Structure 1
Amino acid sequence: MARTAEHLIEQAQKDNMAYELVQSLTTEIGPRLAGTSAEARARNWAINKLELLGFENVHVESFEVPVWLRGRERARIVSPFPQPLRITALGGSTSTGEHGVEGEVVGFPSLDSLIEADPARVEGKIVFVDEVMARKRDGSGYGVAVQKRLRTAYVAQQLGAIAALIRSVGTSSHRFPHTGQMRPLSDSAGKRGVPMAALSAPDADQLSRVLSYGGPVVVHLLVTSEVRAPAQSGNVIAEIRGRDSPEEIVLAGAHLDSWDLGTGAVDDGAGVGIVIAASRLLLEHLPEAPRRTIRLVLFGSEEVGFVGARDYSERYSAELPQHIVAAESDFGAGDIWRFDTRFPAEQLPYATEIARILSPLDIVRGNNTAYGGPDLRYMRESGVPVITLLQDGTDYFDLHHTPDDTLDKIGPDDLHQNVAAWAAFLYLAAETEVYFRDAEAASVTGTP
Structure 2
Amino acid sequence: MKFLFLIAFIHLLPQCTGKPLRWDDCHQHTFKEIKREIAGYSDIAKAIINLAVYGNAQNRSYERLARFVDTIGPRLSGSKNLEMAIKYMFSVLQDDGLENVHLEPVKVPHWERGEESAMMLAPRNHSIVILGLGSSVATPPEGITAEVLVVTSFDELQKRAQDAKGKIVVYNQPFISYKETVKYRLLGAAEAGKVGAVASLIRSIASFSVNSPHTGWQQYQSDVPKIPTACISVEDAEMMARMSSRGTKIVVTLKMGAKTYPDTGSFNTVAEIVGSKYPEQVVLVSGHLDSWDVGQGAMDDGGGAFISWEALSLIKDLVLLTVNEKLLFLLLGLRPKRTLRLVLWTAEEPGGVGAEQYYQLHKDNISNFDIVMESDSGTFMPMGLAFTGSDKVRAILKEIMQLLQPINVTNIYENGSETDTEYWVRDGVPGASLRDDISKYFWFHHSQGDTMTVQDPSQMNLCAAVWTVVSYVIADMEEMLPR
Question: Same fold per TM (> 0.5)?
Answer: yes
For residues 459 and 170 of structure 2, what CA distance do their matches in structure 1 show?
38
Q: For 1:210-221, list aligned pairs within 5 A.
A: 210-221=243-254
Indicate whether 1:401 and 2:446 are aligned. Answer: yes
Q: Percent identical across equivalent pairs? A: 33
For residues 284 and 224 of structure 2, what CA distance do their matches in structure 1 show?
36
Query: Contact 2:388–2:425 at 8 Å: present in 1 too?
Result: no
Query: Contact 1:17–1:273 at 8 Å: present in 2 too?
Result: no
Q: CA deviation at 1:363?
A: 2.0
For residues 417 and 198 of structure 1, what CA distance do their matches in structure 2 show?
34
Aligned letter for 1:44?
Answer: K
3-state DSSP class of the match of 1:169? coil
Q: How high is the TM-score relative to the length of structure 1?
A: 0.92
**Residue in structure 2 matched with residue 99 of structure 1 by the alignment:** 142
Query: Contact 2:76–2:292 at 8 Å: present in 1 too?
Result: yes
- Of 306, 309, 314, 1:276 maps to 309
Aligned length: 427
Q: How high is the TM-score relative to the length of structure 2?
A: 0.85
3-state DSSP class of the match of 1:413? helix
**Residue in structure 1 matched with residue 386 of structure 2 by the alignment:** 340
**Residue in structure 2 matched with residue 441 of structure 1 by the alignment:** none
Q: For 1:112-127, list aligned pairs within 5 A.
A: 112-114=155-157, 116-127=158-169
| CA distance 1:112–1:12, shift in 2 (3 Å) | farther
| CA distance 1:400–1:348, shift in 2 (3 Å) | closer
Q: Which runs of 5+ in 2 are unaligned?
A: 1-40, 320-332
For residues 150 and 266 of structure 1, what CA distance do their matches in structure 2 show?
21
Q: CA deviation at 1:118?
A: 4.5
For residues 366 and 279 of structure 2, what CA distance do their matches in structure 1 show?
14
Q: Which has the larger radius of gyration?
A: 2
Q: For 1:40-439, list aligned pairs within 5 A.
A: 40-114=83-157, 116-134=158-176, 141-183=177-219, 188-189=221-222, 193-286=226-319, 287-367=333-413, 369-438=414-483
Query: Contact 2:194–2:224 at 8 Å: present in 1 too?
Result: no
Indicate whether 1:35 and 2:85 are aligned. Answer: no
For residues 330 and 91 of structure 1, what CA distance do their matches in structure 2 show?
19
**Residue in structure 2 matched with residue 12 of structure 1 by the alignment:** 52
For residues 192 and 215 of structure 1, what CA distance do their matches in structure 2 show?
28
For residues 392 and 218 of structure 2, what CA distance do their matches in structure 1 show?
40
Q: CA deviation at 1:191?
A: 5.2
Choose between structure 1 and 2: higher helix proportion. 2
Aligned letter for 2:456?
Answer: G
Q: CA deviation at 1:434?
A: 3.7
Deviation string, structure 1 residues 122-148 (Cα, Å, up to 9, x no partner): 1111111111224xxxxxx11111110
Aligned letter for 1:378?
Answer: Y
| CA distance 1:301–1:190, shift in 2 (3 Å) | farther
Q: CA deviation at 1:421?
A: 0.5
Q: CA deviation at 1:192?
A: 6.4
For residues 48 and 439 of structure 2, what CA distance do their matches in structure 1 show?
28
Q: CA deviation at 1:190?
A: 6.9
| CA distance 1:192–1:300, shift in 2 (3 Å) | farther
3-state DSSP class of the match of 2:159? coil
Deviation string, structure 1 residues 206-235 (Cα, Å, up to 9, x no partner): 211221221322111111101012211220
For residues 296 and 192 of structure 1, what CA distance do their matches in structure 2 show?
41
Query: Contact 1:31–1:261 at 8 Å: present in 2 too?
Result: yes
Aligned letter for 1:234?
Answer: F
